[in-house]
Amino acid sequence: MPAIKSALLKSFALCALSTGLAAAPMMAHAQATQPVLMMPAPSTLSLSANGEVSAAPDMATINFAVVTQGNTASDAMKANNVRMNAVMASLKSAGIAAKDIQTSSLNLNPQYDYTDGQAPKLTGYQAQNQITVRVNDLNQTGPVIDAVIKAGINQVNAINFGLKNDESMTDQARQAAIATLMKRANLYAAATGMKVKRIISIEEGGPVYNQPQPMMFRANKMADASTPVSSGELQLSVNVSATFELE
């Protein structure tokens, strides 16, 4: 009898263990399939604003060109080289450093006579050498133009004004843009019965200079008088976009 009782106890224990092992995966499965509570997406507001500041420029870049004609390509280039060497010498005499003079383009093109009813006839060649000059003293802008005209420049293409260091001006524009963004965000939030909780993201575009169209003129129309140049004011703008979380 004791042996039978012991066997029965062992059998009961094995059944209990087996039942427990089977129940464990079922409990884990039950836990894994419990529904997950999803939080509602936060309310957001996306806006953009420009910050703009004005300042007087302190430098200018001028684009000049020497244009020459010749019966042959060699003649046109030789004539151009003679004039351009004189122009370079005049810039040096005017105090323009070599690092502030850059060749913009050099072109040599055949010239044709397109008389109606006839095949195009080669009449010669045109050489054009363009340079861009940086003038760091705005008071020298007019005199520099006069000097290069006398030396051989026969085309002045454009004048653009700028700042040698615009970082401080750019930061002012950034601050103005952010101030406008915050004001607008709070206005929209209040209008909808909410308030601004935090800024989620900020993106910047710029800086961009806004100025009148570059001055363009032909040098041969100004050679008899000193060239007046007015720099006016520059407007620098920065565009800032931001996304706000509302609550």
CB 161 within 8 A of CB 233: no
**CATH pick for 59-162 out of 3.90.78.10, 3.40.50.720, 3.20.20.100, 3.30.70.2970:** 3.30.70.2970
pLDDT score at 16: 46
> What confidence tens digit (pLDDT) does each residue in 178-194 have?
999 999 999 999 999 99
Every domain of the chain and the residues it spans: 38-57+165-247, 59-162
Distance spanning both ends of the chain, measured CA to CA: 77
Spatial distance between the Cα atoms of 195 and 188, rounded to a whole number of angstroms: 9
**pLDDT above 70 as % of the chain:** 78
pLDDT of residue 116: 77
Helices (H), ranges, the chain: 2-32, 73-93, 141-151, 167-191
Regions in the chain scoring below 50 on pLDDT: 3-5, 7-9, 11-24, 30, 213-223
Over the stretch 205-244, which tens digit does the pLDDT of each residue have?
A: 878 887 654 444 444 444 455 677 777 788 899 999 999 9
- The hierarchical CATH code for the domain 38-57+165-247 is 3.30.110.170
